[in-house]
C-alpha cells in the first residue's frame, strides 16, 4: 500500500500549487484579451435556426466526389490543383464537413439557380473571395453548361448563367477602402526612409465596388489578407485619410483596419437596400509551417489537422527550393493541435486570422450583415492548399509555397454549401 502523504506535504506543496493554478486561471485572461479564441469557442448566434454549421469536424467519405474537374473554364491556373497534378487530390476531396448537430447538405446547383432566378450574387474583397467565387462558378456551371464569362466596368470577373438569368461576380477591393500609392514628393509625410505612402481614404469605398449598390441581391464581403507589412512595407506604409485630410497622429495598421471597417460597414448599412442579403466572410486561415511564405514556409500535409489530440504527425519536409521534386519529400514530425498553429499567443506565422476576426466581429455588431465564420472549419485543412503545385515552373522559387489560397476543387466547395444554405434560408424567411 502506498504510504499516506504526511499532512505537511499537502500544506507545503499541494495547497500552494492549487492556489497558483487558481490565480493563473483567473488572472491569465486579463493578459490574453486579444486571444479570446484560445478559450473554448463561444457559441456564435446562428444565422439559421437549424444548427450551427460552423462547428463540427471533418470525416472521410470516399463516396464523395467533387462536382467539377480541371476543365471548368472559370479556373485560375494557380488554384487548379487537378491540372497541376497536386498529390493526393482525391484524398483532399474525400473529407466532408459534418456540423455537430446536423448534416450539411451539398448544394444542388439546379435547385439553387432556380431559387436565384433573375438574381445576382456579388463577392467583394481580396483574392480569397475570388478563390470562393471560382468554386461557386464551377459548381453552378453543372446546372448551366452555357455559363459564360462576364465582365463589366468595375467588376473584375464573374459568370452569367443564361438559363436562369443569374450573374455571380467578384469585385477586387483588397482593403475595401480606396487607396493609392503616392510618390515621395507629393506627400506631406516627408520622413527619412520613406519611398512614398499608400494613401487610404477610410471613408471612400474603392471604385471597384462603388457602383454596385442596386445590382446584387446577395453580397459577400471580406478583407484581411492585405493588412500586413509584406503587402505594405515600412518604406511605403499605409497612411489613413479622413474627409481628405491625414489622420493625426498616424494610425498603425490594426487601428487603420478598425476605422476602415467602421466606415465601410457604415457605408454598406446606409447605401445598400435593406432587402440585399449581406454576408461577411471571416478570415481564411493560412497554414505556413516552419516560416512565413517568403521563409520557406510549407504545408505539405497528408491529412487535416486534429483539434484536441497532441500527437506528432507526419509532415513532408520541403527540399531546397527550387530543386524540389516530389519524390524526395522527407517526412518530419510536427504537432497537430490546432491552437498551436493559430492562437495569437503562440505568435506563430498563422496567428493573424483569429486576431483579425475579433476586430471584424466588433465592427459588424448591430448590423444586418451576417457573419460567415468559415475560419474554424478551414483551420483544420492544412492539407488542402496548392503548396508547391502552382502550375508554373519557377513559382515556388519566386513566391514560396502557396499555403494561403485553396486547391479547387477543395475546401471552398464546402464554403459554397454553407453559403447557399444561408442564402436559401434568408430568401425563405424574408
Ligand atoms: C500522397 O501522395 C504521395 C505521392 O503520390 C504518396 O506517396 C502518398 O502515399 C500519398 N499519401 C497518402 C496519405 O495517401
Ligand atoms: C434578368 O434579371 C434582371 C435582374 O437581375 C432583370 O432586371 C431582367 O429583367 C431579367 N431578364 C429577364 C429576361 O428576365
Ligand atoms: C530557404 O531554403 C533555401 C534552400 O534550402 C535556403 O538557402 C534559404 O536560406 C532558406 N530561406 C530561409 C529564409 O530560411
pLDDT: which is higher, 127 or 398: 127
Half-sphere exposure (CA, 13 Å, Cβ side) for 190? 4
How many domains, the chain?
1
Whether residue 211 is contained in a domain is answered as yes
Whether residue 17 is contained in a domain is answered as no
Whether residue 255 is contained in a domain is answered as yes
CA of 420 to the centre of ligand 2 (A): 21
Rounded to whole angstroms, how far apart are CA atoms 57 and 378? 10
Please give the pLDDT value at position 319: 53
- Measure CA of the first residue to CA of the last residue in the chain; give whole Å: 70
Q: Please say if the pLDDT value at position 86 is more than 90.
A: yes
| Nearest protein Cα to ligand 2, atom 2 | 118
Please give the pLDDT value at position 329: 57
To test ligand 1's pocket by mutation, which of 87, 94, 300, 384 has the most ligand atoms within 8 angstroms of CB? 87
Burial code of 145-180, b = ≥16 C-beta within 10 A, e = fewer? eebeebeeebbbbbbbbeebebbbbbbbbbbbbbbe
Provide the residue range defining the domain that includes 341.
51-177+204-227+249-296+337-429
Q: Please say if the pLDDT value at position 404 is more than 80.
A: yes
- Which pTM does this prediction carry? 0.85
| Nearest protein Cα to ligand 3, atom 14 | 295
Q: Please say if the pLDDT value at position 204 is more than 60.
A: yes
φ/ψ (deg, to 5) at 387 = 55, -115
Please give the pLDDT value at position 331: 64
Rounded to whole angstroms, how far apart are CA atoms 23 and 161? 61
Rounded to whole angstroms, how far apart are CA atoms 161 and 144? 6
Q: Please say if the pLDDT value at position 258 is more than 60.
A: yes
Single out the residue of 379, 387, 428 nearest to residue 407, CA to CA.
Answer: 387
215 Cα nearest atom in ligand 2? 5
Residue with cell 474554424: 376
CA of 169 to the centre of ligand 1 (A): 36
User: Is cis: bond before 370, omega within 30 of 0?
Assistant: no
φ/ψ (deg, to 5) at 336 = -115, -5
Rounded to whole angstroms, how far apart are CA atoms 309 and 103? 24
Whether residue 190 is contained in a domain is answered as no
Whether residue 220 is contained in a domain is answered as yes
User: Residue 4: pLDDT band by 50, 70, 90 thresholds?
Assistant: very low
Compute the average pLDDT of residues 170-178: 96
Grid cell, residue 394, equals 519557377
364-377, pLDDT tens digit by residue? 999 999 999 999 99
94-108, pLDDT tens digit by residue? 999 999 888 899 999
Please give the pLDDT value at position 127: 95
What CATH number does the domain containing 408 carry? 3.40.50.1110
Q: Please say if the pLDDT value at position 34 is more than 60.
A: no
CA of 296 to the centre of ligand 3 (A): 6
Window from 155-159, 325-329, 384-388 with minimum mean pLDDT: 325-329
Q: Please say if the pLDDT value at position 15 is more than 70.
A: no
Window from 188-202, 315-329, 340-354, 413-427 with minimum mean pLDDT: 315-329
Please give the pLDDT value at position 5: 46
Q: Please say if the pLDDT value at position 196 is more than 60.
A: yes
Compute the average pLDDT of residues 164-193: 85
Residues 403/287, Cβ–Cβ less than 8 Å:
yes
| Nearest protein Cα to ligand 3, atom 9 | 295
- Sign, Cα dihedral of 281, 413, 148, 79: positive
Compute the average pLDDT of residues 324-349: 69
pLDDT: which is higher, 308 or 73: 73
User: Residue 398: pLDDT band by 50, 70, 90 thresholds?
Assistant: confident
Please give the pLDDT value at position 189: 60
Whether residue 304 is contained in a domain is answered as no
Strands 166-172 and 177-183: unpaired
To test ligand 3's pocket by mutation, which of 320, 398, 399 has the most ligand atoms within 8 angstroms of CB? 320
321 Cα nearest atom in ligand 3? 4
pLDDT: which is higher, 127 or 291: 127
Rounded to whole angstroms, how far apart are CA atoms 216 and 226? 25
Rounded to whole angstroms, how far apart are CA atoms 282 and 223? 8
Grid cell, residue 244, equals 481628405
Q: Is the CB of 87 under 6 A from ligand 1?
A: yes
Ligand 2 interacting residues, C-beta cut-off 6 A: 118, 120, 165
Whether residue 27 is contained in a domain is answered as no
Q: Please say if the pLDDT value at position 337 is more than 70.
A: yes
Please give the pLDDT value at position 47: 55
Q: How many other C-beta atoms lie within 10 A of the C-beta of residue 241? A: 18
Q: Please say if the pLDDT value at position 259 is more than 50.
A: yes
Rounded to whole angstroms, how far apart are CA atoms 386 and 360? 27
Q: Please say if the pLDDT value at position 74 is more than 80.
A: yes
Please give the pLDDT value at position 201: 98
CA of 89 to the centre of ligand 1 (A): 10
Q: How many other C-beta atoms lie within 10 A of the C-beta of residue 22? A: 10
Whether residue 65 is contained in a domain is answered as yes
Rounded to whole angstroms, how far apart are CA atoms 222 and 284? 10
Please give the pLDDT value at position 327: 44
Amino acid at each position: 500500500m502506498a504510504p499516506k502523504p504526511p499532512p505537511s506535504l499537502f500544506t507545503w506543496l499541494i495547497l500552494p500549487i492549487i492556489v497558483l493554478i487558481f490565480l493563473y486561471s483567473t488572472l491569465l485572461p486579463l493578459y490574453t484579451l486579444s486571444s479570446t479564441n484560445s478559450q473554448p469557442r463561444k457559441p456564435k448566434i446562428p444565422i439559421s435556426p437549424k444548427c450551427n454549421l460552423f462547428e463540427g469536424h471533418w470525416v472521410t467519405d470516399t463516396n464523395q466526389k467533387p462536382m467539377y474537374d480541371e476543365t471548368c473554364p472559370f479556373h485560375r491556373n494557380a488554384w487548379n490543383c487537378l491540372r497541376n497534378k497536386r498529390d493526393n487530390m482525391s484524398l483532399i476531396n474525400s473529407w466532408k464537413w459534418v456540423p455537430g448537430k446536423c448534416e450539411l447538405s451539398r448544394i444542388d446547383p439546379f435547385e439553387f439557380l432556380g431559387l436565384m432566378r433573375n438574381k445576382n450574387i456579388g463577392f467583394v474583397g481580396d483574392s480569397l473571395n475570388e478563390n470562393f467565387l471560382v468554386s461557386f462558378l464551377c459548381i453552378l456551371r453543372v446546372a448551366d453548361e452555357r455559363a459564360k464569362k462576364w465582365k463589366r466596368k468595375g467588376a473584375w470577373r464573374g459568370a452569367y448563367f443564361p438559363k436562369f438569368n443569374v450573374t455571380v461576380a467578384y469585385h477586387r477591393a483588397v482593403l475595401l477602402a480606396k487607396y493609392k500609392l503616392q510618390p515621395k514628393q507629393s506627400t506631406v509625410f516627408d520622413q527619412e526612409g520613406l519611398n512614398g505612402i499608400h494613401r487610404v481614404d477610410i471613408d471612400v469605398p474603392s471604385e471597384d465596388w462603388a457602383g454596385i449598390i442596386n445590382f446584387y441581391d446577395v453580397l459577400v464581403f471580406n478583407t484581411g489578407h492585405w493588412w500586413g507589412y509584406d503587402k505594405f512595407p515600412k518604406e511605403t506604409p499605409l497612411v489613413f485619410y479622413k474627409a481628405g485630410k491625414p489622420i493625426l497622429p498616424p494610425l498603425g495598421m490594426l487601428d487603420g483596419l478598425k476605422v476602415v471597417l467602421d466606415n465601410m460597414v457604415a457605408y454598406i448599412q446606409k447605401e445598400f437596400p435593406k432587402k440585399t442579403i449581406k454576408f461577411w466572410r471571416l478570415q481564411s486561415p493560412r497554414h505556413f509551417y516552419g516560416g512565413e511564405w517568403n521563409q520557406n514556409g510549407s504545408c505539405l500535409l497528408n491529412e487535416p489537422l486534429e483539434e484536441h489530440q497532441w500527437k506528432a504527425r507526419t509532415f513532408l519536409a520541403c527540399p531546397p527550393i527550387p530543386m524540389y521534386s516530389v519524390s524526395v519529400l522527407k517526412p518530419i514530425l510536427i504537432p497537430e493541435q490546432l491552437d498551436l498553429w493559430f492562437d495569437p499567443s503562440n505568435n506563430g506565422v498563422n496567428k493573424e486570422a483569429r486576431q483579425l476576426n475579433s476586430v471584424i466581429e466588433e465592427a459588424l455588431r448591430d448590423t444586418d450583415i451576417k457573419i460567415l465564420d468559415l475560419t474554424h472549419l478551414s483551420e483544420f485543412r492544412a492539407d488542402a492548399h496548392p503548396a508547391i503545385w502552382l502550375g508554373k515552373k519557377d513559382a515556388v522559387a519566386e513566391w514560396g509555397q502557396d499555403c494561403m489560397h485553396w486547391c479547387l476543387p477543395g475546401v471552398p466547395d464546402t464554403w459554397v454549401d454553407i453559403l447557399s444554405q444561408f442564402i436559401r434560408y434568408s430568401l425563405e424567411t424574408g
